[in-house]
Structure 1
Amino acid sequence: MSMASTSVIVEEEKQLILYSYWRSSCSFRVRIALNLKGLKYDYKAVNLLKGEQSHPDFLQLNPVGFVPVLVDGPAVIFDSFAIIMYLEDKFPQQHPLLPTDIHKRAINFQAVSIVSSSIQPLHNLNLLKYVEGKVGPDEKLPWVQNVIKKGFTALEKLLKEHTGRYATGDEVFMADIFLAPQLHAASKRFNIHMNEFPILSRLHETYYEIPAFRDALPENQPDAMG
């Protein structure tokens, strides 16, 4: 790599700003992707419990009012999947996040879809507040556990024939980036007994061995609260 191209990458890295909340699993995904690619970024905390995601300034960045948001110079990208694909397209040589094999890529996308469409949105903060208000606070945890267990059952079946050391082989790919935060939340926040899901349980333990994952953990973020 020439000095000129190196300077361009360094300059691009300096431009990256991540608006994040320490406990957001969607932000957690993006932090893992940034770490795996070795990209430096400025961390801008958005306190969801204080409603900072609804402030007019933040809504200028993301009119949906969710984290994460990545700002890369003039580019503003929200939605974790869009951000991760943007990073993959812009920095393809820095730890590729997708395999070249098209079948294995499809398995990765399916795992990503299960987590991002069938599990995480059904236990986000807004929905849990709605369940609490309409049904009662005692129904929140059973709701979350049912959603997660259904999704995890599907993931166990999907990954059964494809796992290696990681979700789809012996390299860390996008499926792992989406799985790790969901497994962490299930175990730490929602009291899911992971022994019901042997494949996911093994992956969950393996992810803690990866520095890029450990550095992205909620408790290791500057806005983390006890």
Structure 2
Amino acid sequence: MNTGSIRLYSYWRSSAAYRVRIALNLKGLPYEIVPVHLLKDGGEQHKPAYADLNPQELVPVLLHGNRILRQSMAIIEYLDETWPDRPLMPTTARDRQRVRAIAQMIACDVHPLNNLRVLQYLENTLGLAQEARDAWVRHWVAAGLSAVEQVLEDNPSTGTFCDGEVPTLADCCLVPQVYNAERFKVDMTPYPTIRRIVGECLALDAFDKARPEHQPDAQR
């Protein structure tokens, strides 16, 4: 497959970068990781060279040839439209809406409230102790996962994965958010459907290779 050069600016523990890594692996696309350390020296994402690539100073950024692509959800849909083999979206409009809705519940409503820059603001600017900051994370992650669990459980569209029998954009978003939940010690007991789906995902090589601990910049 001649894909041209693909470079992903990524941080090993960024859930937004994690979802793009999953998508690239599911599509079977070769890519190069360019690490951006979000904590070192005040955050490499704030350096002028990176800010030129992304004025938001966030990861990920994907370079495809001379194209600069930003925002993980838009990047994943770009990949799916550019390389339609191994699609990450269902074939019908109704099912595509459901997948996008689940993905956006996570990426738009849950993830922003436990993003690094929000946590740094709570701790460094508002003066919250780490215990209070982590309680904030657990509250909003639990609220979001509770809603996702209700959407997934006992729904005929839910299969081995969030929608049917192949991974979709929704699974690309769910797995990294569960990683974050476990990192902040959220009790996952109330979410059996989510836990089952994540287990099925992580059994696949594409998801396993995308795990934070398997990245070249992972802190060991």
Q: Is the 8 A contact 2:167 2:201 kept in 1?
A: no
Aligned residues: 214
Deviation at 1:56, TM superposition (A): 0.6
Q: 2:18 aligns with which of 7, 16, 28?
A: 28
Q: Which amino acid aligns with 1:171?
A: V
Structure 1: segments with no counterpart, 5+ residues: 1-8
Secondary structure of the structure 1 residue equivalent to 2:219: coil
Secondary structure (helix, strand or coil) at the match of 1:204 reads: helix
TM value normalised by structure 1: 0.92
Report the Cα distance in structure 1 between the residues aligned to 2:205 and 2:36, rounded to whole angstroms.
Answer: 24
Q: Does 1:181 align with 2:176?
A: yes
Structure-2 residue corresponding to 1:124: 115
Of 40-49 and 190-199, deviating more is 190-199
CA offsets 1:18-48 (integer angstroms, 9 cap, x no match): 0000000000000000001110011100000
**TM, length-normalised to structure 2:** 0.94
Query: How is 1:4-153 mapped onto 2 (pairs within 5 angstroms)?
Result: 9-10=1-2, 12-13=3-4, 15-50=5-40, 51-93=43-85, 95-133=86-124, 134=126, 135-153=128-146
Decide whether the 8 Å contact of 2:10 with 2:34 is kept in 1. Answer: yes
**SS of the residue 1:165 aligns to:** coil
Unaligned 5+ segments in structure 2 are none
* Aligned-pair identity (%): 39
Contact between 1:180 and 1:207, CA under 8 Å: does it hold in 2? yes
Runs in 1 of length 4+ with deviation above 3 angstroms? none
Secondary structure in 2 aligned to 1:195?
coil
Taking the aligned partners of 1:129 and 1:66, their CA distance within structure 2 comes to 14
Q: Distance in 2 between matches of 1:182 and 1:207?
A: 13
Deviation at 1:136, TM superposition (A): 2.4
Determine the C-alpha separation between the residues in 1 that align with 2:174 and 2:145.
Answer: 10
1:217 to 198, 205, 211: 211
Quote the residue 1:171 is aligned against: 166
Shift of 1:137: 2.1
Q: Does the 8 Å CA contact 1:107/1:158 hold for their aligned counterparts? A: no
- Deviation, 1:149, is 0.7
Q: Tell me the C-alpha RMSD between the 2 structures.
A: 1.0
